Amino acid sequence: MKTRALASLLILLLASTIPAAVKTRYGGSLRLRLNEPDTLRMSASSHSNLILYSLLYENLFYSVAGKELKSNIFKRFSLDNGGMLLTLELNEGLAFSNGKPILSRHVKNSLTTFFNRIMYRSKRIAGKVKSMVVKGDTTLEISLNSAEPGIVEELSAPELVLIGDEELAFSGPYSPKNWEKGKFIVMTANPYYAGGRHPIDEVTVLFQDDAEMDIFLAEPGFSSPQYRSYPSGLYENTYITFPATGNSGQNKRMAFFSLCSSLSGLTGTIRLESLTSEEESPLKISIRQMGDRKVVPILRSSRQTVYLASSLSVLEPSLAERFRRLAIPVEIRILSDNDLSGYIQKNPVPVLIVKKLFRKEMPLTEKLASLIREFSFNRFDETTLGLIKQLEELSGMSRDELIVPALSGIMEKIVEDGIILPLYQQRFQLMIRRGFEPVVIDQYSRIVWSELRHE
């Protein structure tokens, strides 16, 4: 009897040592508070958008600090021919959320879409690619112009996602079920997700504050015992730009800058006195601001049109009020972040307020090059191309006594030309309710959803 009791006790002790994580509990829901997008097409204009679209679209590659690059899509990716041939081989049996198979041509089409975007990063990578050849349904061969040992890491760009033939074919862990404008989007787990079935069945993305939020973005310094905080490796900068050359004289540019530099409506903002961020900039930008008495006669003579990128639509009420108080006639138009560049190429846009997302670890030279490439719009010419080439040359240098004066000169040139003027900066931390484990954050401060589950 005593032996039997000891045996039972031993079995209980052994059972208690088996980790609970062996059993994955499926079901349940997750509630996120994010900003409402204007479309379900991929746009990486804000930290909120990065998180939202990571639910719907799968990146070709992703990485977590201190770990090797990973892919849920490819079973093999290799560099051959002296680093000049990248071969991508798909896992078997992959499908989009609508059940249609993921093929190598979809990878090629996704890369082509990415290369065609007016972005510094996409154009730089596109310039390294000689050709892309589909080899059957599962293999894509990418020939490079020269040996590029870091090409796979570059293909982990957050904007480079796997897209299908149809608008409602999603490659991410979830697909949209119901979108009630101004309130929420309900998403359900994608049964065909390349990362495996997600343990959480349903995600509700809320566009308004709610006491029952599981995940949300907060200002730095916010704390709550119910949540764990994860500092963001990103910051968002707001700029005022002047894409149309014919209607952007110096006085008018300075009047708009002065008017917009004192707007309210963005919580947790700090005044941006550099082109990127103060702690990394060799040059503090001090732009002379005009008082209202000087702004009014410059802008009141005719009806003004100001364009806002959709990621900054929250500024519209305070911008309209600022113009109204000064009796300056104005029309405010919202441009979709996705369609912004295409619209500006075909239409005159005198004033545009736009947002740019930066990863803190990105080199300053690359940040400046991306600003010039993406916000010069119709003014992108030999001069701006020359500035980008200078920055690319500086990126390979290591002597501060040479780099800093050159960077300062480039920054001064950008500000003097009035192409891009900085307004505000926002920083965030990611708040996740205790009870969701493990939390793995990738290099772009997004949750790796395939790792997240109920505790």
CA 120/CA 52 separation, integer angstroms: 23
Q: What is the mean pLDDT of residues 189-209?
A: 91
Q: What is the pLDDT of residue 265?
A: 62
CA 100/CA 123 separation, integer angstroms: 30
CATH level 3 topology of 36-173+441-451? Dipeptide-binding Protein; domain 1 (3.90.76)
- Paired with 357 in beta bridges are 236
Tokens describing residue 160: 């480079």
Q: What is the mean pLDDT of residues 279-306?
A: 87
Q: What is the pLDDT of residue 264?
A: 65
Can you give the residue ranges of every domain in the chain? 36-173+441-451, 234-427
User: Which segment of 53-57, 286-290, 392-396, 429-433 scores lowest on mean pLDDT?
Assistant: 286-290
User: Largest Cα–Cα distance in the chain?
Assistant: 101
Tokens describing residue 383: 């001069």
Q: What percent of the chain has pLDDT over 70?
A: 92
Q: What is the pLDDT of residue 146?
A: 95
Q: What is the pLDDT of residue 245?
A: 62
In degrees and rounded to multiples of 5, residue 39 shows phi and psi of -155, 160
Q: Is the pLDDT of residue 107 over 80?
A: yes
Please name the amino acid found at residue 401: E
Q: What is the mean pLDDT of residues 77-94?
A: 94
CA 112/CA 155 separation, integer angstroms: 12
Q: Is the pLDDT of residue 17 over 50?
A: no
> Is the model more confident about 87 or about 313?
87
Q: What is the pLDDT of residue 212?
A: 87
Q: What is the pLDDT of residue 23?
A: 56
Q: What is the pLDDT of residue 21?
A: 44
User: Which segment of 7-21, 169-183, 261-275, 330-344 scores lowest on mean pLDDT?
Assistant: 7-21
Q: How confident is the model at residue 2 (pLDDT cuts 50, 70, 90)?
A: very low
Q: What is the pLDDT of residue 118?
A: 87
301-318 per-position pLDDT tens digit = 888 899 999 999 889 999
Angle between helices 382-395 and 364-375 (to 10 degrees): 160
**What value does the mean pLDDT of the chain take?**
87
96-106 per-position pLDDT tens digit = 999 999 999 99
Q: How confident is the model at residue 179 (pLDDT cuts 50, 70, 90)?
A: very high
Task: Give CA torsion, residues 204, 210, 216, 219, to 10 deg.
Answer: 160
For 103, other C-beta atoms within 10 Å of its C-beta total 18
Q: What is the pLDDT of residue 262?
A: 78
User: Which segment of 59-63, 69-73, 164-168 scores lowest on mean pLDDT?
Assistant: 164-168
User: Contact 213/430 with Cβ under 8 angstroms?
Assistant: no
The superfamily (CATH) of domain 234-427 is Dipeptide-binding Protein; Domain 3 (3.10.105.10)
Q: What is the pLDDT of residue 3?
A: 43
Q: What percent of the chain has pLDDT over 90?
A: 55
Q: What is the pLDDT of residue 45?
A: 85
